[in-house]
Structure 1
Amino acid sequence: MSQVLNLWKKTSALPLIGTRVFSVAFAQKAPYFATIRPRFTVIEPNRAELVIRKRRGVHNHIKTVHAIALCNGLEAAMGALAEATIPADKRWIPKGMDISYTAKADSDITCIAETDAVQWASDDPDLPVRVKGVREDGTVVIEGVIRLWVTPKPPRI
């Protein structure tokens, strides 16, 4: 089991503070993610979800959640999914993002990343991760694909 998935299982089981502990630890590993204060709610192979609270620190000029904050949330969700899913003999790096903004992000936003198990078994190094951000009323405000480059880990010397 991956370190991320193992940490999620241990911390999310703690009453009241578990998901918060994990979210802070995750954001410390990649400090830029701390700017959105992600609150992870689901981490499992092939799926990760987190919430970005609508607060002043992520607002744009019209007081909705800024587009780049949304992308940051999608990338954090994708990273957690990738770490929880990737086979032990492979490594990944993001290589691109294609995103459409489809509605105003005027509430808290749930960022979701999804893959299918068969994608990780493929020899094709190009792996698309489906991502979307959803308002509290269920409206999709951002959606697209983050493309990963997945390759075998080099042998240890």
Structure 2
Amino acid sequence: MADMSQVLTLWKKTTALPLGKQLFSFAFSQKAPYFATVRPRFVELRPNYAELVVPKRRAVHNHIKTLHVIALCNGLEAAMGALAESTCPPDKRWIPKGMEVAYPAKASSDITCIAETDPAAWTSDNPDVRVSVKGVRDDGTVVIEGEIRLWVTPKPQR
């Protein structure tokens, strides 16, 4: 990638500061305010990889007092969005076109949301880029897993 994205630049600048990951997490949530509903705490960000934590708190509980699956999907989409912004070549743009998830276990703790892609997918002529996503409980149990499909195309000429 020739040019570093604004998101990756912000990550590198803020994480060099005390409380930098918290600052980045807040700033990222302001850009897409819906993400703020799950209060994501970014842990790591680099091309093809993003990791954040969605804290277990009452505001995102379901009727059985675990994290609601839609809150988890929001966390996965936030991780995917940060990954896509940090990975997409500067001459291309991306948009999500679908998400499929399964939730094999209860989300009874904070959940670490991870998004990963194959680096070759971003330089291929195929506009369909698949992002693997999963959410992991504190004890290592996967509570949600799936794929977010992106449509990655050249930016229009101006």
- Out of 136, 143, 146, the residue aligned to residue 145 of structure 2 is 143
Deviations along 1:78-124, whole A, 9 cap, x unmatched? 00000000000000000000100110000000000000111111110
Q: Which letter does structure 1 place at the counterpart of 2:69?
A: A
Given candidates 60, 63, 73, the residue that maps to 1:61 is 63
Structural mapping, 1:13-92, within 5 Å? 13-15=16-18, 17-92=19-94
* Letter in structure 2 aligned against 1:60: N
Distance 2:44 2:152 in 1: 23
Q: Does 1:12 align with 2:11?
A: no
| 1:110-129 matches, cutoff 5 A | 110-129=112-131
d(CA) in 2 for partners of 1:13, 1:115: 25
- Alignment partner of 1:154 out of 143, 151, 156: 156
TM-score normalised by the chain length of structure 2 = 0.97
Task: Quote how far apart the aligned CAs of 1:137 are.
Answer: 0.4
Structure 1 residue 73, shift from structure 2 partner: 0.2
1:134 is aligned, of 136, 143, 147, to: 136
* Over 3 Å off, 4+ runs: none
| Structure 2: runs of 5 or more not aligned | none
Distance in 2, Cα, partners of 1:87 & 1:93 = 13
AA paired with 2:15? Answer: S
* Percent of aligned pairs sharing the same letter: 75
Structure 1 portions without partners, runs of 5+: none
Q: Give the CA deviation at 1:13.
A: 1.3
TM-score normalized by the length of structure 1? 0.98
TM-aligned CA deviation for residue 77 of structure 1 = 0.1
